[in-house]
């Protein structure tokens, strides 16, 4: 079945780095734009970044631009989010989702930025 599974969330100190992964199955991954969305504890949803199927088109929310990098490996059906210079306000559950409309979501992975 169509599935997305995130991993890589952890507790990290301010200024640190983390790489999130999202493993896709059940659909033609290389044909799909993919996206990351986050949700701070008790807060709403915030779109973070997206990437085209061929990786030639990427975009970022202003809040993460210059610090986060989205990438993918279509040979591994995997999506990534490299997060650098992490701040306390980056603390959130991070979801990957299939774009167009966000019709398929992963279960989320928790990132906590704290000293």
Partner 1 sequence: DIQMTQSPSTLSASVGDRVAITCRASQTISDWLAWYQQKPGKAPKLLIYKVSSLESGVPSRFSGSGSGTEFTLTISSLQPDDFATYYCQQYKSYSRTFGQGTKLEIK
Whole-number CA gyration radius for the chain: 13
* Residue 1 in contact with partner 1, rule: CB under 8 A: no
Complex with partner 1: residue 10 or 46, whichever CB lies closer:
46
Complex with partner 1: residue 59 or 85, whichever CB lies closer:
59
Closest distance of CB 91 from partner 1, Å: 17
Give the integer Cα–Cα distance in Å for 85 and 64: 10
* Binding residues for partner 1 restricted to 47-66, rule: CB under 8 A: 47, 50, 59, 61-62
> What's the maximum distance between 2 C-alpha atoms anywhere in the chain?
40
Answer for which of 1, 44, 66, 75 binds partner 1 (CB under 8 A) is: 44
Beta strands at 3-7 and 18-25: parallel, antiparallel or unpaired: antiparallel
Answer for which of 24, 29, 34, 35 binds partner 1 (CB under 8 A) is: 35
Q: Are 74 and 87 in contact (CB under 8 A)?
A: no
Complex with partner 1: residue 68 or 95, whichever CB lies closer:
95
Give the integer Cα–Cα distance in Å for 41 and 85: 20
* Residue 106 in contact with partner 1, rule: CB under 8 A: yes
Q: Are 98 and 32 in contact (CB under 8 A)?
A: yes
| Interaction site with partner 1 (CB under 8 A) | 35, 44-47, 50, 59, 61-62, 95, 101-103, 105-108
């Amino acid at each position: 079945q169509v599935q997305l599974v995130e991993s890589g969330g952890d507790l990290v100190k301010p200024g640190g780095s983390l790489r999130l992964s999202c493993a896709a199955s059940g659909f033609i991954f290389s044909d799909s734009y993919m996206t990351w969305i986050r949700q701070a504890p008790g807060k709403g949803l915030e779109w973070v970044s997206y990437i085209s199927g061929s990786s030639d088109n990427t975009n970022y929310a202003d809040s993460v631009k210059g610090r986060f990098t989205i990438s993918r490996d279509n040979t591994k059906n995997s999506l990534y989010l490299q997060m650098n210079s992490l701040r306390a306000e980056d603390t959130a559950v991070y979801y990957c989702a299939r774009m167009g409309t966000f019709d398929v979501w992963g279960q989320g992975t928790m990132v906590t930025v704290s000293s």
